[in-house]
Amino acid sequence: MKIPLTGLEVRPIDRLLSPIQAFLKVEAAGGILLLLATIMALAWANSPWAASYEQIWHGTYFGLSLFEKADGSMLFDLRMSLSHWVNDGLMVIFFFVVGLEIKREVLVGGLSSPKKAAVPIAAALGGVLFPALIYVVVNLGAEGQAPKGWAIPTATDIAFALGIMALLGKRVPLSLKIFLTALAIVDDIGAVLIIAFFYTESIDTGALLSGGLVLALLVLGNFLQVRRLVFYLVLGAILWFFVYQSGIHATIAGVLLAFTIPARSRLEGHHFVTFGRKAMDLYAEAGGDHDEIMADPVRQKLVHGIEVASEAVQPPLLRLEHLIHPWSAFLIMPIFALANAGVAIGDLSVLFTSSISLGIFLGLILGKQIGISLFTWLAVKLGLGDLPSGTCFRQIYAASWLAGIGFTMSLFIAGLGFGAGEELERAKMGILFASFVAGAVGYGLLRAFTSPPDPKA
C-alpha cells in the first residue's frame, strides 16, 4: 500500500515564502523579548541597585592572557569586561546571522533582482542619508566627540519593528513585512560598511593579513564544496581573533564568515522527491507493525536514508540560519539590551539641550520617515520598481515610522562612537526615547491605515 503524498507536495511559492515567514515569526517574538529586556535594564539602572549594574557589566573582567612581552604587554590578551564580551563576542553571532540573512536575500529573496531590490534599496538609502544629515546639522559646531555620532540614527531595529507589526496580526500585509525586512537588511549592509570604514582608528597590518589568509581558506572551502559546518565555525573563530586584533571591529568577522557559508544543495530537489517517495513507499510496504522501528532494521535504514537526504538537500546556509537565528533573537539580543540599555534617566530636558540627544532623536523620528517615504515615492515614480503588492503609500509611511526604532544597531554604533561617559549616556537617551515615540506612532498609523482581515476569507 502506498502512502498518499498529495498533501505533502510543496508549491514553488511555498518554498520561497516559508523561510521568510519563519524569519518573521522569530523576529516578531524576539522583538517582544527584547522589549522586556530593555525594561529590565532601565528599571535596574534607575533602582537602588544601580551601582551593581555598572559593576557587573563594566567592572567584571575575565578572559585569557598569555606570553608576556619585554614591555610588559601580552602577546595574546583576551581579558575584557563582561559588557565588552557581549559587544565584541556575543554580537559577532548576531552579525553572523545578519550576514546569512543578507546572503539569502541577495540570492533568492527581496534583493535577488534589480526590479525586486530597487525600491527597498532606495528606501534604505533615504533612511540612512536623511537621519545622518539631520544629526550633522544639529551638531554643527559641536565640540568633543559629538560629530562621531552621525551614524547612530541611520540604523533600523528589525526585531522591534516586526514585533510591533506582530501586535496587529493579519491586518498587516505580508508584503509590507517583507518590504520592511528587505529595507532593514539593506540598512544593515550600510551599518556594517559604516562600522568597517568609519569606526576603525588604527590597523594592525600583521593581524589583518593573517585574517585575510583565514578568509581565503574559508572561500576556498566554499569553492571546493566543503559542507562540514565545523570547518567554517573553527576557522570562523580564528578569523574573529585576527579581526579583533587588527583594530577593525570584531563583529565584521561574523559578516565575512557568513558570506563564505555554502548556499548550494548537495542533492537536487527532484532527486530528493524521487528518493523520498520511494523510501516512504518501501517503509509502508514493509511487513509487521509500522510503529516498531527499533526491531526493524529495514525501516531503520530507510529512516536514516531520509535523514541523510534531508540534510543533503538543505544548503548549509539555511541549516545554520535555522539553527542560530533563534539563539540570536531569544538570547543574544536580550542580553545585549540588558547590558547596554541601562540608562539613568534624570533630567529629561537633556533631550532638547544636548545636541547629541536631539540630533539622534530628530534623526530617527524625522529623518527616517522623510528619507524612506520620499525615496520610495521617487523610486516608484521613476519606474525603478513597484510598491509591495497589496500595499499603499500610507502604509509605507507608517512603516517608515517603525524604521525609526534604531535600538540594537544604534546602541551598538553609539558604543563605538562614544566609548563610555556622558556623551554615551546622552546618545542612549536619544535612542531610547526616539525608539519609543517611533514605535508608538508607527503602531497607531499602521492600525489606522490597515483593515482587519475578512473572517470569511
- Mean pLDDT (the chain) is 82
The per-residue pLDDT for range 304-313, each reduced to its tens digit, is: 777 777 777 7
List, in order, residues 6 or more apart from 381 with CB less than 8 Å away.
none
pLDDT beyond 80 at 200: no
Mean of pLDDT values over 25-43: 78
pLDDT band for position 316 (cuts 50, 70, 90): confident
pLDDT beyond 90 at 213: yes
What's the angle, vertex CA 100, arms to CA 330 and CA 197, rounded to 5?
100
pLDDT beyond 70 at 16: no
- Parallel, antiparallel, or unpaired for β 74-77 and 80-81? unpaired
Phi, psi of 212 (to 5 degrees): -65, -35
Task: Look up residue 404 and give its three cell numbers.
Answer: 525609526
Instruction: Say which DSSP state 409 is in.
Output: H
* Residue 83 or residue 274, greater confidence: 83
pLDDT value at residue 70: 61
pLDDT beyond 90 at 434: yes
- E-strand ranges in 18-165 read 61-62, 65-68, 74-77, 80-81
pLDDT value at residue 163: 80
List, in order, residues 6 or more apart from 128 with CB less than 8 Å away.
154, 187, 190, 371
Task: Look up residue 67 and give its three cell numbers.
Answer: 606570553
Q: Give me the residue spans of the domains in the chain.
A: 31-85+112-183+329-448, 270-308
The per-residue pLDDT for range 53-79, each reduced to its tens digit, is: 889 988 888 776 655 566 656 555 677
The per-residue pLDDT for range 251-286, each reduced to its tens digit, is: 889 889 999 999 887 766 666 777 777 877 777 777
pLDDT value at residue 269: 66
Mean of pLDDT values over 130-151: 85
pLDDT band for position 238 (cuts 50, 70, 90): very high
pLDDT value at residue 1: 35
The per-residue pLDDT for range 322-347, each reduced to its tens digit, is: 888 888 888 888 898 898 888 887 76
Specify the DSSP element, H or E, that contains 74: strand 74-77
Mean of pLDDT values over 28-45: 83
Question: Domain 31-85+112-183+329-448 adopts which CATH fold?
Answer: Na+/H+ antiporter like fold (1.20.1530)
Task: Look up residue 107 and give its three cell numbers.
Answer: 540570492
Beta bridge partners of 68: 74
Contact call for residues 187 and 154 (beta carbons, < 8 A): yes
pLDDT band for position 380 (cuts 50, 70, 90): very high
**Which residue type is seen at 449?**
F
* Residue 265 or residue 207, greater confidence: 207
pLDDT value at residue 69: 60
- Parallel, antiparallel, or unpaired for β 80-81 and 61-62? antiparallel
C-alpha closest to that of 436 among 341, 301, 300, 339? 341
pLDDT band for position 30 (cuts 50, 70, 90): confident
* pTM over 0.85, yes/no: no
Say how far apart CA 199 and CA 229 lie, in whole Å.
31
Beta bridge partners of 131: none
Say how far apart CA 391 and CA 172 lie, in whole Å.
9
Task: Look up residue 414 and give its three cell numbers.
Answer: 553609539
pLDDT beyond 70 at 104: yes
DSSP calls for 214-249 = HHHHHHHHHHTT---HHHHHHHHHHHHHHHHHHTS-
**For the range 437-440, what are the long-range contacts, defined as Cβ-Cβ under 8 Å and sequence gap of 24 or more?**
437/365, 437/404, 438/364, 438/365, 438/368, 438/401, 438/402, 438/403, 438/404, 438/405, 439/160, 439/161, 439/164, 439/402, 439/405
pLDDT beyond 70 at 6: no
pLDDT band for position 195 (cuts 50, 70, 90): confident
pLDDT beyond 70 at 46: yes
pLDDT beyond 90 at 201: no
pLDDT value at residue 26: 58
Q: Which range is least confidently modeled, 190-199, 374-383, 435-444?
A: 190-199
Task: Look up residue 366 and give its three cell numbers.
Answer: 524625522
Instruction: Say which DSSP state 151 is in.
Output: G
The per-residue pLDDT for range 156-167, each reduced to its tens digit, is: 888 788 788 877
pLDDT value at residue 23: 53
pLDDT band for position 215 (cuts 50, 70, 90): very high
Give the relative orientation of helices 251-260 and 174-198 as an angle to the nearest 10 degrees: 120
Mean of pLDDT values over 36-52: 89
Say how far apart CA 97 and CA 324 lie, in whole Å.
7
pLDDT beyond 80 at 17: no
pLDDT value at residue 153: 93
pLDDT band for position 3 (cuts 50, 70, 90): very low
pLDDT value at residue 8: 43
Torsion of CA 356, 187, 233, 252, to 10 degrees: -50
DSSP calls for 258-307 = HHHS--S-SS-HHHHHHHHHHHHHHHHHSSS-TT--TT-HHHHHHHHHHH
Say how far apart CA 74 and CA 61 lie, in whole Å.
16
* Residue 119 or residue 9, greater confidence: 119
Say how far apart CA 187 and CA 174 lie, in whole Å.
20
pLDDT beyond 90 at 193: no
